A and B are shown apart, each in its own frame.
Chain A
Amino acid sequence: MTILEFSIALLFISYTAGLLGALTGLGGGMVLIPALVLLFHINIHYAMGASLISVIATSSGSAAAFLRGGYTNLRIGIFLETGAVIGAICGAFLTAIVPISALALIFGIVMLFSAFLTIRRQEEQETDRPSHPWAVALRMEGTHPTKNGPQPYRVHHAPLALGLMTTAGALSGLLGIGSGTVKVLAMDQAMRLPYKVSTSTSNFLIGITAATSTGIYFKHGYIEPGLTFPVLLGVLAGSLTGARILAIIKNRTLRIIFSVVIAGLAAQMIYKGLTGGL
């Protein structure tokens, strides 16, 4: 294929990945990297570099809409991001050392885990327990808009969430993804925040975490401009379209279908990792 044909094909697949990523909340990288690696036979390091850049674009492009929604909790975000940036640097350092087959294997496992979490996700879980002492001391509790006006929410398991966010940062640097599912896991399941507070705050942080890994990615030559542009433009356009139609589509069914697709791709990544087919 020539570069022109290749770029057009990449633009389409990246648009689809961005669209599905936004609709399901799994993020673009999760379907993009396996598509680039399995369908287009792109080197996994290049695929991760292009994905990492597109993750930043998605986070920036949707920041205005998320902040306007009034769900983003910047105190929780900044507290957790202190761990995520450290994780991101460690992950990006590791990615140059870890063999490609192991990267594919880890990627497949993270995909399976994310698909599982997406299917299993429980909506709002109210508890009467008071917030974790750290959350009280750091004034992380907040209110979120509801039909009955602003409602206060509590913040649990702050240290566990910090640990999970550090892991999310490490996975982001290691695999070139946004790690949105692990970030939401930290806030949704550990901290027990309302779901929209988790997703909005996660979106705010994803750009910062991913940017922290890009320095190392650029240095190692993982970010190839000629390959990154169709991916960046496609994912950005796809995720912005996805955010617009999010309100119209009932996305539970879609989430399950998408998770099954992800699981299928994950199995192939794991197979390629184990057999050294990359």
Chain B
Amino acid sequence: MKELELMIGKLMLTGAVIAATVTLIGAILFLIHHGGEPSLYHIFNPARSHVDNYFSGRGIIAIGLYILVFTQLLRVALTGWLFVKQRDKLFTLFTLFILIVLTFSLFA
């Protein structure tokens, strides 16, 4: 069980490193193309946050952010697997509940 816990930890760290790397690549592209434009983040404009081109710098940053968020699904799923292996029905159900709420919140 201890090995599986350590594996979850390593996977989360790997996910964070991959997400940060992708974000950094996107950030460099974004700054090359838009670095000289004025920053207007004091005004909230919901339409601006929308990403329509995932090959642009902003799009690649967004992909990095999605990777980070989706590794959290992996965290819950692997913790659930830990309880499945222990044949602990109640805690498997608890974890499944969390997984369903998280999935629903991300995709609904």
Residues of chain A at the chain B interface (Cβ within 8 Å): 1-4, 6-7, 40-43, 45-46, 49, 53, 56-57, 59-61, 63-68, 72, 74-75, 77-79, 81-82, 85-86, 88-89, 92, 138, 204, 207-208, 210-216, 218, 220-230, 232-233, 236
Contacts and interface: CB of A to CB of B under 8 A. Distances in A.
A208 B72 contact: yes
B15 A60 contact: yes
A191 B43 CA distance: 43
Contacts of B36: 2-4
A89 B68 contact: no
Interface residues of B, number: 63
Contact of B101 (A2, A86, A218): A86
Contacts of A3: 31, 34-39
Nearest to B56: A225
A60 B13 contact: yes
Contact of B38 (A2, A40, A207, A218): A2
Contact of B41 (A59, A88, A204, A227): A227
11 contacts: A46-B41, A67-B6, A72-B5, A74-B79, A85-B98, A92-B105, A213-B105, A216-B105, A223-B49, A223-B65, A229-B24
Contacts of B27: 7, 229-230, 233
B15 A233 contact: no
B5 A78 contact: no
Among all A-B residue pairs, the 10 with the closest Cβ atoms: A221-B46, A4-B35, A221-B49, A67-B9, A64-B9, A211-B72, A63-B12, A60-B16, A225-B61, A6-B39
Given A57-B68, A211-B72, A78 B98 contact: yes
Contact of B71 (A60, A66, A89, A220): A60
Interface in B32-84: 34-39, 41-51, 58-59, 61-62, 64-65, 68-69, 71-73, 75-76, 79, 82-83
Contacts of B17: 61
A43 B102 contact: no
Nearest to B100: A85
B98 A233 contact: no
Given A2-B35, A64-B12, A85-B98, A208 B20 contact: no
A235 B23 CA distance: 13
A230 B23 CA distance: 9
A49 B64 CA distance: 15
A215 B108 contact: yes
A43 B42 contact: yes
A64 B10 contact: yes
Contacts of B44: 43, 45-46, 221
A68 B24 contact: no
B49 A63 contact: no
Contacts of B35: 2-4, 7
A225 B12 contact: no
Contacts of A53: 65, 68-69
